[in-house]
């Protein structure tokens, strides 16, 4: 890390700089252009969050809501560029958590069974999954998706042919349990 003065940092357009000298509390760390020691600022931040847990949670939730779109896009790009690594992590998690994985799968299976009415055309539903399997063997990364999710927060759909569609896997993963009215 290059040692410089505050004036040099401002002239260089930097927001932080390193003097190599301790702050009044003895920390040797980067400083902000305002002159604040980075460690002092971090410790003050931690203290505020500990003392104001409710406000901190509310601010975090509001920030996540505001930035959800850009975070989803950033996560999508990361997952796309790290497919092998993500698959390996998922495989390791599944191996380390067989009970949890089984519980998740059974929850989905139970939801699907509960939302399959007696009048549903099971042959048509099976045909949709078979068609998806054919496309997958041809190299297309498709999923069978429920247009109206089976476990949505505001509305839940049925496991019937009219509620099924073939969707690219990345689109299906980004959709999650959301129902978008177009």
Helix (H) or strand (E) holding 132: helix 122-137
Q: What is the pLDDT of residues 58-108, one digit of tens each?
A: 998 898 888 888 888 888 889 889 999 999 999 999 999 999 999 999 988
pTM over 0.85: no
Q: Which two tokens stand for residue 21?
A: 């000298």
**Separation between Cα atoms, residue 120 and residue 164, nearest integer Å:** 12
By mean pLDDT, which of 1-5, 12-16, 25-29, 169-173 is the weakest? 169-173
Q: How many structural domains comprise the chain?
A: 2
Q: Which two tokens stand for residue 52?
A: 């104001």
> Does residue 141 lie within any of the structural domains?
yes
Note down the domain range covering 50: 6-61
> Does residue 54 lie within any of the structural domains?
yes
Closest to 153 (Cα-Cα) out of 180, 173, 172, 174 = 180
> Does residue 81 lie within any of the structural domains?
no
> Does residue 155 lie within any of the structural domains?
yes
> Does residue 75 lie within any of the structural domains?
no
> Does residue 128 lie within any of the structural domains?
yes
Q: List the beta bridge partners of residue 29.
A: none
**Separation between Cα atoms, residue 128 and residue 134, nearest integer Å:** 10
Last residue within a domain, chosen from 61, 88, 106: 61
Q: How far, in Å, are 99, 109, 113 from residue 131 at the CA level?
A: 31, 20, 21
């Amino acid at each position: 890390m290059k040692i410089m003065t505050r004036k040099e940092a401002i002239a260089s357009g930097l927001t932080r700089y390193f003097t190599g000298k301790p702050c009044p509390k003895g920390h040797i760390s980067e400083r902000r252009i305002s002159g604040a020691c980075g460690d002092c600022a971090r410790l003050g931040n931690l203290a505020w969050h500990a003392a104001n847990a409710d406000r901190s949670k509310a601010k975090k939730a509001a920030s996540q809501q505001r930035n959800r779109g850009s975070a989803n896009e950033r996560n999508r790009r990361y997952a796309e560029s790290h497919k092998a690594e993500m698959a390996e992590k998922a495989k390791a998690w599944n191996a380390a958590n067989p009970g949890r994985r089984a519980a998740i799968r059974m929850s989905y299976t139970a939801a699907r069974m509960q939302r399959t009415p007696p009048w549903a055309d099971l042959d048509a539903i099976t045909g949709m999954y078979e068609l998806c399997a054919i496309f997958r063997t041809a190299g297309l990364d498709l999923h069978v998706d429920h247009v109206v999710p089976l476990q949505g927060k505001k509305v839940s759909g049925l496991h019937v042919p009219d509620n099924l569609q073939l969707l690219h896997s990345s689109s299906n993963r980004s959709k999650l349990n959301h129902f978008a009215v177009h």
